[in-house]
């Protein structure tokens, strides 16, 4: 029953995607695909709205100038801005092929963008037109409804012209032969000239041979690139298009997002990268892939960009192999210390960064993971040594003991951005160029923060800090409240450190640290922040409006001040979060919230922000 439901789901997706005609031109075995939904974009911001924006006007000015007045608006480009745009990547023995598919509604408009000298290079083949850039390995091909730009990235090309094109071993051999011949019959001076001429001729012949080889190879690569572009334009694939790839269809879903990026099976992609990166280095280098295959097989990434009315979201799904998932789960099987929430106030913070990992899990999983990566390595010595080394490391480590020192969970809270007066030393010179040391002051905006990490080793903490007090020559001190303070010329502020409730705290505010020490700190953390910190393996929260409001404006010119004020009024909070691993999947999301008023939607918000900041 589940298989029937899955088939029905994928069939519905195929029908909905198939209306986007250019996707059918992407081969089933494409390694990566990016799609941009033109209709979604133009519904959020119309073409007329974009053309009336500052960015749009600048673009139109460039188009008008670049086409000698032939193109004065976006509709005259001949590009169908309401359809879908695609990028896809392929790889083979030649290298990586990057392909860009653009929908056309009028090829005449597109052709009007070309200078006359470029039009002379156009080759006609039935309803297809194309031209080739032979030096950059690029083909541009189009018909009445589609355009493709294909670029070949040769990653294993060692034939590029360079100093090493001259065979250093070959030339001396020729010289020796000439010298031996000449010494018997010719005077030394003419012999030297003949040797030079012969050597130069050898160099020239060798270079000419290499040049012809490169040209022949380039011509062959261009022929294959043209053939591939023609196949793409016809969508004529023996194994079918990407619409036959169930992994891709499942990853993109109903695809209502404005943009979707998908990278397919990592094992094949890494295989191609390693094979081409190791060209000429021998098979043992490639042996590393055998170990990586267990980790990267059946692994893929999908990212989806969505512009909503009051927020922008970028969601990324990282599907990994069972082998990789096993180790990653152990590393991030942490538990956030709930006492952290007693030490900060959400009304007095600008943002935070949290990590919810497991020190014990990392130390236990890492040696096994590295050993597994190299167990199938083709170099027998490496394959034997690495597992032994990792086993010795595992035996030497006390994972539980290390986890008692630092458990793995951490929270960093940015509490303020405050202007402070700092003292610094400089020198002044008199008319005799004799210098005098003087102390001056300056104002700088500096951060205030509190960092918290979980530890069960209070005794070790205090012993280490007591050593620091004795050896630091007054830079580290201990006050009566059990708070250690670090004052050094290397830092523009004092750092306060203490241990409380299985937590090491490090912060810039002595008042807050004293209140925490006495149990009188006025903490406040709502459910949204608690959930964000506790339920995810990592999280970043930025209160953009409050941070923008802290920018010093007194010394700014009025026009800059107005822009900063606009940013402060129109900036909201930003959230980055990474989930814990579930069903071999790690999910990440970036959310940027936008103001409720003043902008039609989140895409229009970005356009309005650019308009406000551009001169």
Residue 157 has pLDDT above 80, yes or no: no
What is the reported pLDDT for 358? 92
> Over the stretch 210-246, which tens digit does the pLDDT of each residue have?
878 777 877 888 888 899 999 999 988 888 899 999 9
For range 122-140, the mean pLDDT: 89
User: Residues near 56 by Cβ (< 8 Å), separated by ≥ 6?
Assistant: 50
User: With b meaning 16 or more CB within 10 Å and e meaning fewer, what string describes 60-89?
Assistant: beebeeebeeebeebbbbbbbbebbbbbbb
> Over the stretch 182-193, which tens digit does the pLDDT of each residue have?
455 555 555 555
What six digits make up the tokens of 89?
Answer: 């990547």
The radius of gyration of the chain from alpha carbons, rounded to an integer in Å, stands at 33
* pLDDT band with cut points at 50, 70 and 90 for residue 198: low
Of residues 171 and 381, more confidently modeled: 381
What six digits make up the tokens of 528?
Answer: 């949204």
For range 522-529, the mean pLDDT: 95
What is the reported pLDDT for 186? 52
> Over the stretch 456-475, which tens digit does the pLDDT of each residue have?
999 999 999 999 999 988 89
> Over the stretch 576-597, which tens digit does the pLDDT of each residue have?
999 999 999 999 999 999 988 8
* pLDDT band with cut points at 50, 70 and 90 for residue 178: very low
What is the reported pLDDT for 116? 84
> Over the stretch 70-99, which tens digit does the pLDDT of each residue have?
788 888 888 999 999 999 998 877 778 999
All structural domains of the chain with their residue ranges? 309-332+535-615, 359-402
What is the reported pLDDT for 211? 78
User: Poorest-confidence range of 12-21, 178-187, 412-421, 560-569?
Assistant: 12-21
* pLDDT band with cut points at 50, 70 and 90 for residue 5: very low
Q: In angstroms, rounded to a whole number, what is the distance separating the alpha carbons of residues 504 and 500?
A: 7
> Over the stretch 246-303, which tens digit does the pLDDT of each residue have?
989 999 887 689 999 999 877 777 666 666 655 544 444 445 555 566 677 778 899 9
CA 509 to each of CA 249, 479, 514, 515: distance values in angstroms, whole numbers, following the listed order: 53, 14, 9, 10
Q: Which of 133-137, 148-152, 272-276, 443-447 has the highest mean pLDDT?
A: 148-152
What is the reported pLDDT for 265? 77
What six digits make up the tokens of 160?
Answer: 């590029």
Q: In angstroms, rounded to a whole number, what is the distance separating the alpha carbons of residues 22 and 14?
A: 13
> Over the stretch 372-416, which tens digit does the pLDDT of each residue have?
777 766 556 666 677 777 778 777 778 888 889 999 999 999 999
% of the chain residues with pLDDT over 70: 82
> Over the stretch 372-381, which tens digit does the pLDDT of each residue have?
777 766 556 6
Contact 199, 171 (CB under 8 A): yes
User: Residues near 391 by Cβ (< 8 Å), separated by ≥ 6?
Assistant: 367, 371
pTM: 0.80
């Amino acid at each position: 029953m589940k298989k029937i439901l899955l088939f029905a789901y994928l069939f519905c997706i195929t029908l909905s995607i198939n209306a986007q005609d250019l996707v059918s031109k992407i081969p089933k075995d494409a390694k990566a695909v990016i799609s941009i939904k033109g209709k979604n974009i133009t519904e959020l911001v119309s073409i007329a709205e974009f053309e009336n924006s500052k960015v749009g006007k600048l673009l139109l000015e460039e188009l008008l100038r670049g086409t000698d007045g032939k193109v004065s608006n976006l509709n005259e480009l001949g590009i169908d801005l309401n359809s879908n745009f695609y990028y896809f990547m392929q790889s083979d023995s030649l290298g990586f092929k990057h392909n860009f598919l653009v929908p056309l509604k009028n090829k005449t408009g597109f052709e009007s963008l070309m200078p006359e000298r470029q039009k002379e290079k156009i080759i006609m083949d039935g309803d297809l037109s194309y031209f080739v850039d032979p030096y950059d390995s690029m083909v541009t091909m189009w018909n009445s409804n589609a355009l493709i730009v294909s670029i070949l990235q040769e990653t294993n090309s060692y034939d590029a012209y360079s100093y090493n094109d001259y065979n250093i071993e070959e030339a001396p051999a020729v010289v020796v032969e000439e010298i031996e011949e000449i010494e018997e019959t010719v005077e030394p001076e003419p012999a030297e000239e003949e040797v030079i001429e012969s050597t130069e001729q050898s160099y020239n012949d060798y270079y000419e041979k290499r040049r012809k080889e490169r040209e022949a190879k380039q011509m062959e690569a261009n022929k294959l690139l043209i053939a591939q572009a023609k196949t793409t334009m016809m969508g004529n694939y023996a194994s079918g298009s990407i619409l036959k790839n169930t992994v891709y269809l499942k990853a993109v879903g109903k695809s209502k997002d404005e943009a979707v990026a998908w990278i397919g099976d990592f094992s094949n992609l890494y295989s191609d990268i390693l094979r081409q990166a190791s060209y000429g280095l021998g098979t043992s280098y490639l042996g590393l892939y055998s170990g990586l295959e267990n980790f990267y097989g059946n692994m893929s990434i999908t990212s989806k960009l969505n512009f909503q009315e009051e927020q922008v979201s970028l969601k990324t799904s990282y599907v990994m192999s069972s082998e990789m998932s096993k180790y990653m789960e152990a590393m991030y099987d942490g538990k956030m210390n709930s006492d952290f929430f007693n030490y900060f106030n959400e009304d007095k913070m600008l943002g935070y960064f949290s990590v919810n990992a497991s020190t014990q899990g990392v130390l236990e999983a890492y040696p096994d993971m590295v050993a597994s990566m190299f167990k199938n390595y083709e170099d027998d010595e490496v394959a034997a040594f690495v597992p032994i080394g990792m086993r010795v490391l595992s035996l030497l480590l006390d994972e539980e003991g290390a986890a008692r020192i630092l458990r793995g969970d951490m929270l960093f809270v940015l509490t303020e951005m405050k202007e402070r007066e700092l003292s610094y030393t400089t020198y002044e010179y008199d008319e005799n160029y004799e210098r005098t040391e003087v102390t001056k002051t300056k104002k700088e905006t500096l951060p205030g923060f509190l960092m918290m990490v979980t530890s069960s080793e209070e005794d070790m903490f205090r012993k280490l800090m007591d050593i620091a007090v004795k050896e630091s020559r007054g830079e580290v001190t201990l006050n009566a409240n059990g708070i250690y303070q670090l004052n050094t010329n290397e830092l523009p502020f004092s750092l306060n450190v203490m241990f409380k409730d299985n937590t090491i705290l490090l912060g810039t505010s002595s008042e807050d640290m004293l209140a925490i020490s006495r149990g009188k700190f006025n903490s406040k953390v709502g459910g949204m922040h608690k959930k964000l910190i506790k339920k995810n393996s990592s999280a970043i929260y930025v209160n953009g409006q409050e941070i923008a409001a802290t920018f010093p404006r007194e010394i700014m010119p009025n026009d800059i001040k107005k822009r900063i004020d606009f940013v402060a009024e129109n900036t909201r909070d930003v959230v980055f979060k990474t989930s814990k691993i579930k069903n071999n999947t790690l999910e990440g999301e970036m959310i940027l919230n936008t103001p409720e008023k003043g902008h039609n939607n989140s895409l229009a918000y970005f356009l309005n922000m650019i308009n406000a900041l551009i001169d």
